[in-house]
Structure 1
């Protein structure tokens, strides 16, 4: 009973895979629609090239049977046949080159479009998707999988199309020479199709595992490169090497299965069918020679056509592995393109504008996984020009509040309002323009300092950039650099100190003159002298702006208008610095721990 049930599930899974592969193939073919004119032209040229190639053996058969065998040497006719044969061959070569170049050119356009579609899709996915998807896996889909799909357009489709046309032409020529033998060769097609179908079914799962393991390899490699400092500091090289070896070994074994299938069911199987066909054809002509005369030219032409018949068959068989890889890769790529977990956007119509920056949270409850609530009934108000600080131990929910305010994650319970308008009613452009963000670990792009401040926005002038840098006191180190604002920035800004990177990101925020500031421990990575300068800049920045600040060092938020103390996703205390100290609750204990003073001492200011 259990075996029968398992078999049923297995058959259902195979049927679903077939439907999935059909769907994938149709979608891949859909990318050819914008290029139908070029493809039609290339196909027409392909027909002409195939015709020129197929006429050659008939010319040779005519020479053998009409001139060579009877000893009739009409040099004018023979020269004409030879010249025609050479012309047809050269024409076939030229036309084949043109159609091959046309197919490849169109294939490159298609892959370029597919890669742009995938890259654009990734740019619009929600952060929750990236929370659970390794970066290396995404890189593998965008690079390796699209590269595998490219072979479908460059090699597989062109070869299958060319081979199909060639096979049809060969059958036409065979029926012209001998109907019975042509029917015999036609009977070989079901056998060849059966071998192809068997190969596709057996190799499908192996190729799927191979692509998955390659994705894991990229993910592990990406993780290792990102954490190289930690790996070397804690001497984790051997552990990472063992983990990487385990994945490469699994990839090797999966790939070895595909090699076995290729070695057994591709060229060897068709070669066997070819040898049997040759034996039967020669046996047929041998038997016919006892009954009646057999024209040598017909025998030569038929054997030649039979050889040419299996040439495209072998080419198609050899491309089956690329077809399988392309379909598996297409399934993974379209899985990414069909991802529905998009970044939250505007809901409804209208174009509200953030004018004063009045923020209000109303009974906000939030969960990342839909099971554990990381925020529970959060309610507070940040009036225009006020600074609201969020404090609490790690995991208390501070960053989650900021993530929701920035609309990085969808809000399902409660409401967030800015200037009395629900957050989801604002367009992305308005929200990103009016809400400035400074992270504790700033990210710099490859380029130069100026491009990292403006993010290549041409609306900012040189004066705007310099003014923003002066405002956050980043100009003091930038102007000492050899190229000042044109100083190169490498990957993640690795050649700059953490404090310098933070100052650049600070200038990036202030050049946009936001109405709302979101600061994630904005002074955590700067020295004491720089911190004092930034605190002075922060005081200026807060004028006329609503500020939400995540603070780990309580000394940086003592002047905040409102301090919210979070614990396990709830606000357990709220008030000013002095009010919270007077309550002698969690904030008071955190303050004492950070300042290393005795609880018995009175706390002033």
Structure 2
């Protein structure tokens, strides 16, 4: 499983928060409305205890109830309360709208970054972990914007306004109440230190769970064939137990340092203030309205603190989740970049490898001084035992990995110097396992090329003889395709992949054992399609079935990353080396 640095320092958290808030900057107008609504709701909350104090001291204790004044006081109370309700509604509505917009943009940016990541990244990071970052982690960020930021902003407004009102009522008592603030800050600091660690582990374990689930679903056939259900369940249960353990640690921490501790501090504060008013009453009169108002403002001073502490766990989760998303977005394991030094078209499609040496890990070379030429229109086949370096040659040519030693040339120019669009347009790839997207037959052949017409789609299918089975489908080219083309045979999926490749009419064709998973009955049809596809195109083909590449213009035999034999089929048979041995083994009756 992927491992990350799970200990976020205070600086890490601060930087993550600032970066999150920057996503909200484009919505300045919306933020202004939210702050305005927060101000109104806070001011109305401060006004109601003051109105009640006036009623108690000026009317209730005096037993004087003038109709006009009481009616105005009631109207004012109702208007203030109603205004607060309306302002709170719009504040929450616009804040949620803002949160969804922000997360929408974060997801778009993260998904865009995934498209730029190189194959090295996906070699080390499970797919389930990547999915977890774009789903679970971004959902946690939404909760922060909706629940936490609103709480924090309102808390700031309420604490300041409550403190101001307490100063107006009694400055000595207000200063006395402020002594408890350092205690609260200390509690929050301790909570932040431990909770950040627990939440980081929890999110990582949740990511591991998603990775394990995705891996199990993807490999369910193998799991069932090899009777590995119990082993997978044990592994899943272990990760699940660890996730449960860290969740419980968080719950115990919340129970100790959040609401109970804040309530205890609040009760101590109320007791001290009531004691102060009791002592003050011996020296002079203290009105019931002032006592009521002061207690109300003290409660409004502590209530947002309590709400903030209750939201700290969500806040911590959101920061950890945001940090994981930003880690993905900041990852520098990118696709090899094109220098784009030349604005040149690929015309002849002559391919040349010159002394190319390559290592995946920087330690062990998987390719060693690979040199060969594929002349325009030629087919060069790559054969060899597993691990000999065949796929690595294709990976480098397709620019899935960067190479540092040697040169790969197309028409005499470095492959690194061509514009990316020029390469993608002129190089077609057919993999051993044809990947079919959810959608329709037409969308899989078109593959979202907006300028491609239906006539071009149909012509590509006819060119590779895929139109036969497509026309037999209920909706033909509009037929719905299940995920990965599950309802199609392997041969039908491969024909769709051929049509997809031919639809863009590439000058260079890369075949990664395109017939490996094809049954004998379908192989003749596939071979006929391949023959047409290779005609007048420079082709690099990986082959395990040597019978499929006997007509290749040149066959390269690889062993441990080196080309050890080269020539035509007949030449290699006469040589009596590795190729001849492989051929005899495959054709032994």
TM-score exceeds 0.5: yes
Cα distance in 2, alignment partners of residues 191 and 541 from structure 1: 76
Take 1:329 and 1:483, find their aligned partners in 2: how far apart are those partners? 44
Shift of 1:533: 2.7
Secondary structure of the 1:425 match is: coil
By how many angstroms is 1:160 displaced?
0.3
Q: Does 1:433 align with 2:459?
A: no
1:151 counterpart = 2:130: no
Encode CA deviations 1:191-239: one digit per residue, 9 max, x unaligned: 1111111110111111111011001000000000000111111111111
| Aligned partner of residue 457 in structure 1, secondary structure | coil
Name 1:335's counterpart in structure 2: 327
Task: State the match for 1:526 in structure 2.
Answer: 518
Match of 1:125 among 95, 98, 117: 117
Matched, 1:265 2:276: no
Residue 550 (structure 1) aligned with residue 550 (structure 2): no
Question: Which residue of 2 is the match for residue 512 of structure 1?
Answer: 504
Q: Distance in 1 between matches of 2:286 and 2:525?
A: 103
The answer as to whether partners of 2:8 and 2:197 remain within 8 angstroms in 1 is no
Given the alignment of the two structures, is residue 588 of structure 1 paired with residue 580 of structure 2, yes or no? yes
Equivalent residue of 1:371, what SS?
coil
**1:322, distance to aligned residue in structure 2 (A):** 0.8
Alignment of 1:91-110 (within 5 A): 91-110=83-102
Q: Which whole-Å CA distance do the structure 2 matches of 1:233 and 1:542 have between them?
A: 38
CA distance in 1, matches of 2:487, 2:225: 19
1:446 is aligned to 2:438:
yes
TM-superposed CA distance for 1:535, in Å, is 2.3
**C-alpha contact 1:209 1:254 (8 A) present in aligned 2:** yes
Q: Secondary structure at the match of 2:416?
A: helix
The question of whether the paired residues in 1 share the 8 Å contact of 2:128 and 2:211 is answered with yes
Q: Could you say what secondary structure the match of 2:403 adopts?
A: coil
> Which residue, 271, 294, 299 being the options, matches 1:302?
294
Corresponding residue for residue 555 of structure 2? 563
| Poorly superposed stretches of 4+, deviation over 4 Å | 13-16
**Deviation larger for 318-327 or 339-348:** 339-348
Counterparts of 2:579 and 2:414, CA distance in 1: 31
1:496 alignment partner, one of 488, 509, 520: 488
Helix, strand or coil at the partner of 2:541: strand
**Separation in 2, partners of 1:15, 1:367:** 32
3-state DSSP of counterpart to 1:459: coil
2:372 alignment partner, SS class: strand
Distance 1:68 1:542 in 2: 98
- Shift of the alpha carbon at 1:45? 2.2
Deviation at 1:562, TM superposition (A): 0.2
RMSD over aligned CA atoms reads 1.4
By how many angstroms is 1:525 displaced? 2.5
Deviation at 1:543, TM superposition (A): 2.2
Distance 1:275 1:483 in 2: 72
- SS of equivalent residue, structure 1 residue 352: coil
Contact 1:502 1:525 (C-alpha < 8 Å) held by counterparts: no
Q: Does residue 136 of structure 2 align to residue 114 of structure 1?
A: no
SS in 2 for 1:436: strand
> Which of these residues, 228, 231, 248, is aligned with residue 239 of structure 1?
231
How far apart, in 2, do the equivalents of 1:353 and 1:181 lie?
Answer: 81
| Structure 1 equivalent of residue 134 of structure 2 | 142
Q: How many Å separate the matches in 2 of 1:45 and 1:245? A: 47
Deviation, structure 1 residue 511: 1.2
Conserved? CA contact 2:53–2:292, under 8 Å: yes
Select 2:464's aligned residue among 466, 472, 475. Answer: 472
Contact 2:8 2:196 in 1 (8 A): no
- Is the 1:352–1:425 contact (alpha carbons within 8 Å) kept by the matching residues of 2? no
Whole-angstrom CA distance in 2 between matches of 1:131 and 1:15: 24
8 Å contact kept, 1:449–1:488: yes
Matched, 1:284 2:276: yes
In the superposition, relative to structure 1, how do residues 129 and 15 fare at CA in structure 2: closer, same or farther (>3 Å)?
Answer: closer
- Which residues of 2 match residues 195-206 of structure 1 at below 5 A? 195-206=187-198
Q: Helix, strand or coil for the counterpart of 2:201?
A: helix
- Pairwise CA distance, 1:510: 0.9
SS of 2:434 mapped into structure 1: coil
Aligned match of 2:42: 50
Number of residue pairs matched?
585
CA contact (8 A) 1:346 1:425 kept: yes
Return the alpha-carbon distance in structure 1 between the equivalents of residues 310 and 482 of structure 2.
44
Give the whole-Å Cα distance in 1 for the aligned partners of 2:453 and 2:25.
44
Match of 1:482 in 2: 474
Partner of 2:244: 252
Q: Among residues 205, 214, 223, which one is paired with 1:222 in the alignment?
A: 214
Q: 1: CA distance between counterparts of 2:504 and 2:7?
A: 55
Answering whether residue 162 of structure 2 is matched by residue 163 of structure 1, we say no
Q: 1:21 to 1:85 in 2, by over 3 A?
A: same
List runs of 5+ in structure 2 lacking aligned partners.
Answer: none
Q: Structure 1: 5+ residue runs without aligned partners?
A: 1-12, 598-605
The answer on whether the counterparts of 2:7 and 2:197 sit within 8 Å (CA) in structure 1 is no
For each residue in 1:110-143, what CA deviation from the matched residue of structure 2 results, as whole angstroms up to 9, or x when unmatched?
A: 0100011111101110011101110011111111
1:164-203 to structure 2, matched below 5 A, reads 164-203=156-195
* Match in the other structure for 1:83: 75
TM-score normalized with structure 1 length: 0.95
Alpha-carbon separation, structure 2, partners of 1:534 and 1:71: 100
Secondary structure in 1 matching 2:9: helix
